[in-house]
Amino acid sequence: MNRSIIMIKNFKTLLMVPLFGLMFAGNASANVIENYTMLVGINGYINVSEGLFNTDFEDIGVQYKLDILDPESPIAITSFAVSTNSTANTVESTRGDWMGEQLSAAEWDGSIYSLLGSFSSFFGGDRYVNIYNIGEIGPSIVAGTDGMFQFQAYNSFGDSIALASDFVAINANNGIVDQSRAPNDVPEPGPLALLGFGLIVIGLMGRRRKA
């Protein structure tokens, strides 16, 4: 066989190897998004979007992103919570020093979170809430650094995950910035609520240091 033909064939083979490698790597790390929904804040400051997904490890979950609508806004979000009717075995964040957890309606109402308002006032008849709180070093969510799906809740073993119903977002001063449900018994962020939520953050930081 002509030597130049062999060289051309070998060159084509070398070109194909990295292409297949890139295709494989892309597929191995990708999450398959099945659906999107948007929760609209009643104050017009914040929306929360979420998507259902499956990973290559057969975990089923949701990813959230929080959007500050005004690009010039000075708002800094340090905590937000999104309701669901599905249990999660892992609630976490890929955004810096943020932590996640899931509470039932009864756990919310029996905790210091209730100083912000009852579970039903924020989340209606839903059963659970996925909560994300800033840690010691953050960063907080501000305009220009939002809009990314950096908050997750996973449920393995093939159990279904339901899309969220409502959210509430808290700013750096521990005040309620926006929520998707019209308030009824949600108190204004007065001294008691501010003290209570401040204690939440302090407690989470202490737990983080011990860990």
- Positive or negative, the CA dihedral 134, 137, 143, 149 is negative
Architecture of domain 31-210: Sandwich (2.60)
User: Taking CA 158 as the corner, what is the angle to CA 54 and CA 29, rounded to the nearest 5 degrees?
Assistant: 25
CA–CA gap between residue 148 and residue 84 (Å, rounded): 20
The whole-angstrom distance between residue 166's C-alpha and the CA centroid of its chain comes to 13
Put simply, whether the predicted model's pTM sits higher than 0.75 gets the answer no
Query: Does the pLDDT at position 31 exceed 70?
Result: no
pLDDT per residue over 130-146, tens digit each? 999 999 888 999 998 87
Per-residue DSSP letters for 144-194?
A: TS--S--EEEEE-TT---PPP--EEEEETTS-EEEESS--SSPPPS-HHHH
Q: What is the mean pLDDT of the chain?
A: 75
41, HSE (Cβ side, Cα atoms, 13 Å) = 22
Domain ranges of the chain: 1-30, 31-210
pLDDT digit string (tens) for 32-66?
445 678 999 999 999 999 888 776 666 678 899 99
Compare 60 and 71 and report the one with higher pLDDT.
Answer: 71
Q: Return the bridge partners of 134, or none.
A: 98
Backbone dihedral angles phi then psi of residue 107, each to the nearest 5 degrees: -65, -40
Q: Quick check: 84 pLDDT over 70?
A: yes
| pLDDT at 202 exceeding the cut of 80 | no
Residue 117 has pLDDT above 90, yes or no: yes
- In this prediction, residue 167 carries a pLDDT of 97
- Region 5-25: what's the mean pLDDT? 36
